[in-house]
């Protein structure tokens, strides 16, 4: 039977490069502030352009779908042809998208703007994830968590930016955030130089020992399960990132500004959970983290549709913390299943996550138009049940011990 490697090669750096991880996390923060502005603007755009939920869903689909389509392709290409300075170029696309988003005269131009921001993210995520792994010093879960927490903090800041800057000053103020893209481009040029030097040093080292292998069938089953877990996580997250403001406005009568602040509670919870997930996975195993993160949210998601305003705020905060810890564990788990393909795997999973978020937002928008926004949250409350599929994931520590003994 054909087999596939499961263990990664020795790290390219002997110690964790926290300076590089901090730079990547900072740029992830800046990138995701910009991309979160797209979702945070939905209530403003809905009013300014007289959009329905279906059109909001299509806008989310174009943004997420562009990122989903191109991230695996970018990752596959950079596995074979690493591009140290491509991240700065990707930020340029995000900059162009923000400027167009600020001044779009028609709905069609809004779609183009969303696509440009999505493409910028598609270029950023696979190669930056590879750089984070390169800088990990073998602490892969910690490195991915530090990298991803920047993105979660950036996503959380988007609604605050909308509440305190864009709502008072109007849609055109989105262009001001182009300064974030320019800042990130400067940082990423320096990080690209470090990456080029590390690759040169890595090429001069002896080839690493051949890693352990798992049967290809086990790898394919595990990757399928991980994909389904990402589906459940990101469709549920789409219900909150795209429609939570509308839900709280409709059900509890809060203002648009207050709805943005309530969304910040959920997104802030995501940032906290991301920090916790990676180190716990490094110490206790990633399968345990995945169990708790996906299935562990079920009691809270089931309660959410019936909660009052205070309960809703508390529950969404808890859901954010618990659910966020999954992605870094899922990503590192997948990278260990297919070593040597860090860019492709990172792009595939980041892209799949974006795609599921975009498709989920589009479908949920149609459901909201047909059945009402409250029905969306009742329906999505069952998604964490997919976490039961975690039972089919291999225990990587036991597999390594078994293969060593064989």
269-291 pLDDT, tens digit each = 887 887 776 677 677 777 888 88
Residues 6 or more apart whose CB falls under 8 angstroms from that of 18 comprise: 146
For 5, list phi and psi in degrees, rounded to 5. Answer: -65, 150
Radius of gyration over alpha carbons of the chain, in Å?
21
Containing structural domain, residue 391: 14-201+214-405
For 105, list phi and psi in degrees, rounded to 5. Answer: -90, -20
**Interatomic CA distance for residues 176 and 145, integer angstroms:** 29
**What local confidence, expressed as pLDDT, does residue 151 receive?**
79
The pLDDT mean for the chain works out to 82
- Tell whether 2 is covered by a domain: no
**What local confidence, expressed as pLDDT, does residue 399 receive?**
64
- Tell whether 242 is covered by a domain: yes
Nearest Cα neighbor of 67 from 355, 356, 330 is 355
**Interatomic CA distance for residues 98 and 74, integer angstroms:** 22
Which ranges of 3-85 would DSSP assign to H, the alpha helix? 18-40, 42-48, 53-80
In the structure, what pLDDT confidence band is assigned to residue 2 with cuts at 50, 70 and 90?
very low
Nearest Cα neighbor of 245 from 229, 258, 231, 228 is 258
Q: Give bridge partners of residue 215 from the DSSP assignment.
A: 3
**What local confidence, expressed as pLDDT, does residue 9 receive?**
42
The proportion of the chain whose per-residue pLDDT surpasses 90, expressed as a percent, equals 20
Q: How far is CA 57 from CA 351, 358, 367, in A?
A: 18, 8, 10
- Tell whether 348 is covered by a domain: yes
Query: What does the pLDDT average to over 2-31?
Result: 69
- Tell whether 7 is covered by a domain: no
For 214, list phi and psi in degrees, rounded to 5. Answer: -120, 150
Which ranges of 338-405 would DSSP assign to H, the alpha helix? 342-371, 373-380, 396-405
Q: Give bridge partners of residue 214 from the DSSP assignment.
A: 4
**Interatomic CA distance for residues 230 and 263, integer angstroms:** 21
Residue 7 has pLDDT above 50, yes or no: no
DSSP 87-154: HHHHHHHHHHHHHHHHH--SHHHHHHHHHHHHHHHHHHHHHHHHHHHHTSTT-HHHHHHHHHHHHHHH
Render the burial of 84-93: b for 16+ CB within 10 Å, e for the rest.
bbbbbebbbb
Is the separation of the CB atoms in 84 and 24 below 8 Å? no
Query: What does the pLDDT average to over 260-265?
Result: 85
Nearest Cα neighbor of 366 from 243, 234, 236 is 243
For 215, list phi and psi in degrees, rounded to 5. Answer: -60, 140
* Residue 225 exposure: Cα atoms within 13 Å on the Cβ side: 23
For 4, list phi and psi in degrees, rounded to 5. Answer: -125, 140
In the structure, what pLDDT confidence band is assigned to residue 4 with cuts at 50, 70 and 90?
very low
- Tell whether 392 is covered by a domain: yes
- Tell whether 308 is covered by a domain: yes
Most confident of 65-69, 125-129, 304-308: 304-308
pTM above 0.85, yes or no: no
Q: What is the per-residue pLDDT across 313-350, written as a single tens digit (0 to 9) for each?
A: 999 999 988 888 777 788 888 878 887 777 778 778 87
HEC states along 286-345?
Answer: HHHHHHHHHHHHHHHHHHHHHCCHHHHHHHHHHHHHHHHHHHHHHHHHHHHHCCCCHHHH
For 16, list phi and psi in degrees, rounded to 5. Answer: -65, 125
**Interatomic CA distance for residues 333 and 192, integer angstroms:** 26
**Interatomic CA distance for residues 117 and 317, integer angstroms:** 27
Q: What is the per-residue pLDDT across 194-235, written as a single tens digit (0 to 9) for each?
A: 988 887 776 666 555 555 567 788 889 989 999 899 899 889
Nearest Cα neighbor of 31 from 245, 195, 182, 233 is 182
Residue 135 has pLDDT above 60, yes or no: yes
Residue indicated by tokens 């806008």 = 59
In the structure, what pLDDT confidence band is assigned to residue 26 with cuts at 50, 70 and 90?
very high
**What local confidence, expressed as pLDDT, does residue 314 receive?**
94
- Tell whether 208 is covered by a domain: no
Residue 138 has pLDDT above 80, yes or no: no
**What local confidence, expressed as pLDDT, does residue 402 receive?**
65
Nearest Cα neighbor of 134 from 125, 143, 126, 146 is 143
Take residue 239 and report the two structure tokens written for it.
Answer: 């219900």
**Interatomic CA distance for residues 375 and 104, integer angstroms:** 32
Nearest Cα neighbor of 236 from 319, 157, 166 is 319
**Interatomic CA distance for residues 155 and 229, integer angstroms:** 21
* Total domains, the chain: 1
CATH number at residue 291: 1.20.1250.20
**Interatomic CA distance for residues 373 and 125, integer angstroms:** 32
Q: What is the per-residue pLDDT across 51-105, written as a single tens digit (0 to 9) for each?
A: 888 888 888 888 877 877 888 888 888 878 878 888 888 899 999 998 998 888 8
3-class DSSP state of 257: helix
């Amino acid at each position: 039977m054909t087999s596939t490697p499961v263990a990664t090669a020795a790290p390219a750096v002997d110690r964790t490069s926290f300076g590089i991880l901090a730079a990547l996390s900072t740029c992830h923060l800046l990138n995701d502030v910009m991309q979160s502005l797209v979702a945070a603007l939905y209530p403003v755009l809905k009013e300014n352009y007289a959009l329905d939920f279906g059109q909001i869903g299509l806008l989310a689909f174009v943004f997420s779908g562009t990122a989903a389509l191109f991230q695996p392709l970018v990752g596959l290409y950079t596995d074979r042809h690493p591009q140290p300075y491509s991240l700065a170029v990707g930020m340029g696309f995000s900059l162009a998208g923000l400027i167009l988003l600020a001044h779009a005269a028609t709905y069609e131009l809004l779609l183009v703007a969303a696509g440009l921001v999505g493409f910028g993210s598609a270029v950023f995520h696979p190669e930056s994830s590879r750089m984070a792994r390169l800088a990990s010093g073998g602490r892969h879960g910690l490195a991915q968590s530090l990298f991803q927490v920047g993105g979660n903090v950036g996503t959380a800041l988007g609604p605050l930016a909308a509440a305190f800057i864009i709502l008072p000053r109007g849609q055109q103020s989105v262009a001001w955030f182009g300064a974030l893209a320019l800042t990130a481009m400067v940082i990423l040029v320096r990080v690209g130089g470090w990456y080029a030097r590390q690759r040169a040093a890595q090429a001069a080292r002896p080839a690493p020992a051949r890693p352990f292998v798992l049967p290809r069938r086990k790898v394919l089953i595990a990757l399928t399960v991980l994909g389904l877990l990402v589906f459940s996580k990101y469709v549920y997250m789409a219900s909150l990132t795209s429609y939570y403001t509308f839900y709280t406005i409709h059900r509890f009568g809060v203002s648009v500004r207050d709805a943005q602040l309530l969304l910040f509670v959920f997104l802030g919870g995501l940032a906290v959970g991301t920090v916790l997930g990676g180190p716990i996975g490094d110490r206790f195993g990633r399968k345990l983290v995945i169990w708790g993160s996906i299935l562990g949210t079920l009691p809270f998601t089931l309660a959410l549709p019936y909660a009052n305003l205070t309960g809703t705020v508390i529950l969404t905060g808890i859901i954010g913390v618990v659910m966020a810890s999954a992605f870094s564990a899922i990503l590192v788990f997948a990278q260990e299943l297919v070593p040597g393909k860090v860019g492709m795997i990172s792009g595939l999973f980041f892209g799949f996550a974006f795609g599921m978020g975009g498709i989920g937002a589009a479908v949920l928008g149609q459901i909201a138009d047909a059945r009402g926004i409250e029905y969306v949250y009742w329906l999505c409350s069952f998604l964490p049940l997919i976490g039961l599929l975690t039972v089919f994931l291999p225990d990587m520590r036991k597999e390594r011990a078994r293969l060593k003994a064989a």
